[in-house]
Structure 1
């Protein structure tokens, strides 16, 4: 691939064609062609070093400080769109190179015609080299009509048997939905604000109620995939809302958390579901949040403070002195929420590079981790209490399979609560859109318009 950056002048600010300020904190204005060159460079870095896209984009930004926030966001959109359609773009263009993938994605993801793409690839100044006759022909004429499912659906071929077992005839529509951009959803914090009042106050964001979640709002995103900077809005700083996919909001709702209960959020991470649980409990009862990785808990304290949410955060020690921080609660908890570590196959709309880094060994590791947290949850819950098991995965091995293996290990101590009964109690209008599995329920982009969340509920018998 030709070097995308010409030599810099002494200031390091003359290498790219910008208009306006060169201060990195301001909006500079690289040409669309220059942004394509930058995206190709980042895609090459991702391919060569097998690293997350976010890391490659960050390093590119640090090395090109003259590029403004608008440029960096536009380049990120090009990169993520190319990764969403990596397999199909390579098929269209006949080769799996960063340049070919970007060119193909401009047609498949952004709907640009061949002459429009060619106008970006002129070789002039900082534009990528001109399209060859072969590239023009493939861009204009190639189709996905004969492409295998993993190419047409832009997914690793080794996961298709498992996904096919779950999705059946909907396999390709769901894979295509997973290759689209995700919506931008927020959850209104009912501890501080009513959704109707918040909707009126957030009119400048052009928000609309989410289709299914009662506290959700959906914020429009631009043609470049960018949404507003929600984290700097005064309402965010005052704790009115949290950024949370509608599927995650619904999964929290399906825990049926109630005021006055003792609830443990066993894999709390940064606290997204902890905050939702606190709102469902109306800050009445005992909510304990912890995580096996103490580093993931770091943001939770500030988020709780901002939301006005009450939760007891128990951070495990690291190193040899590490001890279980929940032993005093064994056998006493009303509900344990297990937002389990998983492959994240249901979040490919948001993390398209993750699907290309997923390997069978990663799945095996996640299955082991899921067994460990489910066993810990089983020890915590009281007789008559419940476990809500949640993943953001579409792979049956991580979902029904994990629940089935717990039932085998626990003997007759636990029983599955029918998912249809849980939905009827928590959100009955959602039922026609869900896939009900043997032990739980599955949300998905094509059916519910959400990330691919799985939820199962188990009740301790004795």
Structure 2
């Protein structure tokens, strides 16, 4: 592909991303994969160049642009050499005409900026849109970190976590023997911190109440050394179905999955009331802490959606509380950086549930924020997370 054709391909993809964000469709990475699946003529360098242009344009535009072309015109302010490729050639974009409006360069949507934690300063906002590294968790059910580090070139140790390695962005992990043998799982350091904070031990009864595809469930399984009861619960069947082959690959066959009926979760969870040593609530959230991985998520979030999410978070916490035994723990986490989803949510829970207390999260990273702790990209080198540990007295 000639350079102008790469720019036009990026514009075409950005058009799809804009429409998908507006209509609740697939994420950008899915759209990019589909696009190139039907365009075999594009080589690996072409695919990488187009992908980089798409994500550079997305990261620059905090508000959803009117079109892919508007997003690309905005990128010209950071990469002015691209203007030469708007040449009207057969496979390139049309020439720029006077009066065309580029997107603005605001990193954070205007409406949500006042809702973010006060800890999210200019440096953190920039880091939220930087490219994320590739973090992996070594599966201690099968190997040690030192063993896996020796199998992965360019791997570096994350000192604050016993099973974490960091790889360069774009590292071909799935082509490695470590991946084929189930020795590693892709997992951001922040997610690994949340799993470690749970303090799961062999023989415990642990419930991952919003398990999704089970990334944190697998980390809990490794900490439990395959011993005890570990329930992965979710309301979406397709998510839990993805966990089963992952658990088999990891050697964590003792995990039990539990499909919940949304709005009637109590019917399926009643037999566990008062029995869990740990309940993890990794709640549905705004995803503001994951913008460096999914920058177009800023275009999907609305004030109404944020309100619905906070209501759902409170509801799930209320479902989780009766499951915890006396002296047990409820660990609440969201990959979000708004106070409404973080410290305010915990404050409201403690008011609704006498007899519960927040205990220090501890650890070498993060900053105390209200009754919990905040992890952020600039300060901690992780995705953004709020987490809190609540104990039933």
Q: Is TM more than 0.5 here?
A: yes
| Deviation string, structure 1 residues 218-244 (Cα, Å, up to 9, x no partner) | 1113xxxxx133224221121110011
Distance 2:254 2:305 in 1: 32
Q: Hey, what does 1:447 align to over in structure 2? A: 379
Aligned: 1:193 with 2:153: no
Q: Hey, what does 1:237 align to over in structure 2? A: 180
Residue of 82, 85, 92 corresponding to 1:127: 92
Aligned: 1:60 with 2:35: yes
Distance 2:292 2:159 in 1: 18
Unaligned runs of 5+ in 1: 1-29, 91-95, 140-146, 222-226
Cα gap change, 1:201 to 1:54, in 2 (>3 Å) = closer
Could you tell me whether the CA contact under 8 Å between 2:18 and 2:64 is conserved in 1?
Answer: no
Aligned: 1:154 with 2:107: yes
The 5-angstrom pairing of residues 240-319 of structure 1 reads: 240-316=183-259
When structure 1 is superposed on structure 2, of 63-72 and 76-85 the one drifting more is 63-72
Q: Hey, what does 1:84 align to over in structure 2? A: 59
> SS of 2:198's equivalent?
coil
Distance 1:106 1:244 in 2: 34
> SS of 1:334's equivalent?
strand
Aligned CA RMSD, in angstroms, stands at 2.8
Answer 1 or 2: which has greater helix percent.
1
Unaligned runs of 5+ in 2: none
Give the CA deviation at 1:89. Answer: 11
Distance 1:86 1:316 in 2: 38
The 5-angstrom pairing of residues 303-452 of structure 1 reads: 303-316=246-259, 324-410=267-353, 412-419=354-361, 423=362, 427=363, 429-430=364-365, 434-452=366-384
Cα gap change, 1:307 to 1:55, in 2 (>3 Å) = closer
Q: Hey, what does 1:46 align to over in structure 2? A: 17
Distance 2:163 2:352 in 1: 37
Cα gap change, 1:267 to 1:311, in 2 (>3 Å) = farther
User: How many pairs does the alignment contain?
Assistant: 389
> SS of 2:191's equivalent?
helix
Rg (Cα) greater in structure: 1
Residue of 149, 160, 179 corresponding to 2:129: 179
Could you tell me whether the CA contact under 8 Å between 2:235 and 2:261 is conserved in 1?
Answer: no
Higher relative contact order (CA 8 A, sep 6+): 2
TM-score by length of 1: 0.77
Distance 1:371 1:257 in 2: 24
Could you tell me whether the CA contact under 8 Å between 2:63 and 2:299 is conserved in 1?
Answer: no
